[in-house]
Amino acid sequence: MRYISTRGEAPALGFEDVLLTGLATDGGLYVPESLPHFSLEEIRSWRGLSYSELAFNVMHPFVDDAIPADDFRKMLDETYSVFSHQAVAPLVQLDSNEWVMELFRGPTLAFKDFALQLLGRLLDYVLEKRKQHVVIMGATSGDTGSAAIEGCRRCEHVDIFILHPHERVSEVQRRQMTTVTGDNIHNIAVRGNFDDCQRMVKESFGNQSFLGGKTQLAAVNSINWARIMAQIVYYFQASLALGGPDRSMAFSVPTGNFGDIFAGYLAKKMGLPISQLVIATNRNDILHRFMSGNKYEQHQLEHTLSPSMDIMVSSNFERLLFDLHGRDGQAVKTLLENATKGPVSIEDYRWKHARKLFDSDAVDDKATCDTIREIQEKNEYLLDPHTAIGVRAARNCRRDSSVPMITLGTAHPAKFPDAIAESGVSVKPELPAHMADLFEREERYTVLDNNIAGVQEFITKHWKNA
């Protein structure tokens, strides 16, 4: 399996190099040169498999011979054994043909654990094999940071630097990052928003000279292909649990950076019958504005009750644009360069092609709270604000009530107590036992100005071989 850049000017790489590289040298994102495709008969034969067995079948073609099959199976068994539910990604029914898939049963209570618990093991394996050290640099709107730290903190060959927007993540999200001890873990609170943090990460990957050639950066954000690869699996899992592949499924996905829903798009291209993908956003609705009106335009970022989706520059959207433009890297590069100067659109026929699969909705804070309260009253089931946005968008955009609609439950409600309180429900979400003392643990983080030079200087001073 070879991987190519969405901007067409970087060399094709194998899985190991893509794992360590993150952003391509031309500024693009890596995607597989070709996708594996599974027949309905093959998918049907996977019914009854454990989650880790299914994950092996779906992901192994992407890894190919970079990791021996037995070693990869062992990684997957270890990755998903730490989840708190035997099904790993259990389904909860809300209505006659409406479901929530709980993707928050991992160590940090968010869907990011599915990929980042695996990514840590992949990095450890490849870096040990190469006797190489890397610096992980990542940006988080809330959940990626804690999942990355938890997944990679035991890696012997990495230093971890996670940037989060100062005072713009929930307290639980912040403490999950800043209370983890380890000499190789560094949390940076940037006086800015998530897009500022993400921009610094991308610029640093584009020019790593500040590291003096002594090490290289590795990505944990969803620009890293391994993140997308791992998220494809639970679409297959949900489908198989509800009668797939002999019936089609619809999914509603709370998304800011477009990675989680892009994984669903890939699952469909790999042979899984999916009739609809709903892009569920909050007031930071650049994806909704594009999908509903073919206009890609950045607005001022707003702070909401769903902070993990407070994103205006959706990195993984570039991967979809690459496909919509017939994998023409130059066309994608030109389009995104123009998008930094003002609103852009794509050719109408390309946009209409995307609309065959995708719908979208933007849900404000009031509607989010209303949904949390409604589901609690009718189902005695508590949603976090991001999942509530997914449920509301699913109901607003649903095309066919006979098709099962599955909302991806992206986080545990205990991570967002302020949003739960604002919704007016009487239930207070409790942290699970392994996090019961979270508010008593000592925090460690550094607040820095929204300045890339200062952030890079901090990294060069604090990685272990500096």
Please say if the pLDDT value at position 65 is more than 80: yes
Q: Is 293 domain-assigned? A: yes
Please say if the pLDDT value at position 347 is more than 90: yes
Torsion over CA of 205, 208, 213 and 215, rounded to 10 degrees? -40
Give DSSP secondary structure letters for 319-360: HHHHHHTTT-HHHHHHHHHHHTTS-B---HHHHHHHHTTEEE
Task: Give the pLDDT of residue 141.
Answer: 83
Q: Is 73 domain-assigned? A: no
The greatest distance separating any two alpha carbons of the chain, rounded to the nearest whole angstrom, comes to 59
**Mean per-residue pLDDT, 271-292:** 97
Task: Give the pLDDT of residue 143.
Answer: 82
Q: Is 428 a catalytic residue?
A: no
* Catalytic residue (one of 112, 202, 268, 333): 112
Beta strands of 2-90 (E only): which ranges? Answer: 3-5, 30-32
Please say if the pLDDT value at position 466 is more than 60: no
Q: Distances from the Cα of 120 to the Cαs of 114, 139, 157, in angstroms?
A: 11, 16, 11
Task: Give the pLDDT of residue 465.
Answer: 64
Task: Give the pLDDT of residue 222.
Answer: 85
From the list 115, 117, 110, 119, the residue with the least C-alpha distance to 143 is 110
Domain that holds residue 363: 87-107+231-423
Q: Is 253 domain-assigned? A: yes
From the list 20, 29, 101, the residue with the least C-alpha distance to 327 is 29
Q: Is 401 domain-assigned? A: yes
Task: Give the pLDDT of residue 182.
Answer: 87
Question: 152 near 116, Cβ under 8 Å?
Answer: yes
**Mean per-residue pLDDT, 319-347:** 96
**Mean per-residue pLDDT, 233-260:** 97
**Mean per-residue pLDDT, 54-67:** 96
Task: Give the pLDDT of residue 154.
Answer: 84
From the list 127, 358, 106, 374, the residue with the least C-alpha distance to 252 is 358
Sequence-distant (6+) residues with CB within 8 A of 294 are 345, 346, 348, 351
Please say if the pLDDT value at position 180 is more than 80: yes
User: CA-CA distance, 119 to 19, in Å (whole number)?
Assistant: 9
Residue 355 pLDDT grade (very low, low, confident, very high; cuts 50, 70, 90): very high
Task: Give the pLDDT of residue 39.
Answer: 98
Q: pLDDT by residue (tens digit) across 164-173? A: 999 999 999 9
Task: Give the pLDDT of residue 313.
Answer: 87
User: CA-CA distance, 66 to 20, in Å (whole number)?
Assistant: 13
Q: pLDDT by residue (tens digit) across 31-47? A: 999 999 999 999 999 99
Q: Is 145 domain-assigned? A: no
Please say if the pLDDT value at position 12 is more than 50: yes
**Mean per-residue pLDDT, 113-128:** 94
**Mean per-residue pLDDT, 350-368:** 98
Instruction: Compute the C-alpha angle 278/98/253, nearest 5°.
Output: 25
For residue 334, what is the domain's CATH number?
3.40.50.1100
Number of domains in the chain: 1
Q: Is 248 domain-assigned? A: yes
User: CA-CA distance, 455 to 204, in Å (whole number)?
Assistant: 10
Task: Give the pLDDT of residue 464.
Answer: 75
